[in-house]
Amino acid sequence: MTASPRDDALPRHDWTLAEVEALFDLPFAELIFRAMSVHRRWFDPTEVQMCQLLSVKTGGCAENCGYCSQSAHFDTGLAASRLMDAEAVIADAARAKAGGAQRFCMGAAWRDLKDRDVPKVAAMISGVKALGLETCATLGMLTPPQAKALREAGLDYYNHNLDTGPDYYETVVTTRTYQERLDTLGHVRDAGIAVCCGGIVGMGEARRDRAGLLHQLATLPKHPESVPINGLVPIAGTPLGDLIRAEGQLDGLEFVRTVAVARLVCPKSMVRLSAGREGMSRELQALCLTAGANSIFVGGKLLTTPLPGESEDQRLFRDLGLRPMTSPEPALAG
């Protein structure tokens, strides 16, 4: 690997898998130095975006994602619920804004969005947007007309993760293909919505699979504006949760490497420290933020899994000298 940090700071779409793997293999200090240099090229390193995610329809999902408590295929003790009313969602968003959130995300446990639910979801989006919050939704697969309707309602971002690299994908889920995920990302792009797309690490995959995920993101025609990096929260009753509970979770330094490589291959993207933060030490979170993560989920809960509380996050920000983001996102600015 011969590229300098300055070269790495310019977005590329021609990464090879071997090049991404070579980044993972760099000495830890060198990798973090390169990631920090790229981060400073595009972002203020003292700023972090705060996001909050609400489950607007929980449980009963037809997908068999092996990590998910909301799948109808697994007995995790989670009760299914109906789609929330827009008024209740907007009230939750107002509380999130009062607590410091800058982006509000709405997630529904569906395989795909049904046309009958589009008006209700659109009302949620427009109401949250009217509060002055950035809007994001994750609702499963979309058709082109549905994506257009969400954009017209004021949706800024659509989240649709690839989960893992293509070679490990069928170990994680078999009810939806990798290409179907890519197709939904295309529909989102065509509608003019920014893309939020990342994955989950620590599901028993190899380093090559983590590199494969980031290679897929880095070689899309346009990089996702947001790249969430989730650490698996092993939930009893899910196949991957039971596996990891038995074999042990991913090493923390390997998680940091994943964050740093994400920053290098998608330099202008928001790199979001997502699920799994509750189980991380303050020191591990600080390393992730140093390595290029510049967005976190707050609010004490991420769909059905826990997050640190507001006081813990405020103390971490204070001790690290961080503040809520005010700078514009460079990927959205062009």
Of the candidates 34, 103, 263, 272, the residue annotated as catalytic is 272
Q: Is 288 a catalytic residue?
A: no
Note if 197 is an active site residue.
Answer: no
Cα distances (Å, whole numbers) of residue 14 to 19, 107, 215, 236, 287: 10, 32, 9, 40, 28
- Beta-ladder partners of 301: 306
Q: Which of the residues 34, 51, 61, 103 is marked catalytic?
A: 61
Strands (E), 232-307: 270-273, 295-297, 301-302, 305-306
Select which of 34, 51, 103, 136 is catalytic.
136
What are 136's strand-pairing partners? 105, 157
Q: From residue 308, how far is each of 102, 123, 233, 290 by CA, in Å? A: 17, 30, 14, 19
Which one of 196, 197, 266, 288 is the catalytic residue?
A: 196
Q: How far apart are CA 332 and CA 334, in angstroms?
A: 5
From 51, 68, 197, 288, the catalytic residue:
68
Query: Angle, to 10 degrees, between the axis of helix 207-218 and the axis of helix 252-265?
Result: 20
Backbone angles phi, psi at 54, to 5 degrees: -115, 130
The token duo for 74 is 């697994």
- Of residues 174, 184, 164, 161, the one with CA closest to residue 113: 184
In which element (H, E) is residue 190 found? helix 178-190
Considering 105, 197, 266, 288, which one is annotated as catalytic? 105
Active site residue 272: yes
State how far the Cα of 239 lies from the Cα of 220, in Å rounded to an integer. Answer: 30
Confirm if 128 and 106 have CB atoms less than 8 A apart: yes
Selected catalytic residue, list 65, 197, 266, 288: 65
196 included as an active-site residue: yes
Q: Which amino acid is at 57?
A: K
d(C-alpha 331, C-alpha 37), whole Å: 17
The overall longest dimension of the chain from CA atoms, in Å, is 54
68 among known catalytic residues? yes
- Which positions are annotated as active-site residues? 61, 65, 68, 105, 136, 196, 272
